[in-house]
Structure 1
């Protein structure tokens, strides 16, 4: 998947545990773990905003897009 979740990087930079973030954002540890591992299929903007506020960062610090050269769809279409 071309969307990379760098939540673990931001947690390390802020010296915060996943459990502390889950409590601060009021989201279950299980759901936050799914997001952190990159297995989430979606994330609500309100959840992303709460995470960004708790970590004092921007969405781009957490989510990254990497072009997949195996993707057959052309961006130029």
Structure 2
């Protein structure tokens, strides 16, 4: 896939970091306020969504997750 051998996604308390073949891509930064506001904004944008409660529960907890996902692609 266009010379991509490895892709890695790592979360921390300050955002999501992605690398491709060991080279960092721009990351998505967050903090507690941003995550809480994102959950509220989702509810405003999609007022009829059945997932509002889930977003308000899950999004503020993203900074507590410790994810390190590594994808290897065939060469």
TM-score (norm 1): 0.23
Larger Rg over CA atoms: 2
Identify, as 1 or 2, the structure richer in strand: 2
Identify, as 1 or 2, the structure richer in helix: 1
TM-score (norm 2): 0.24
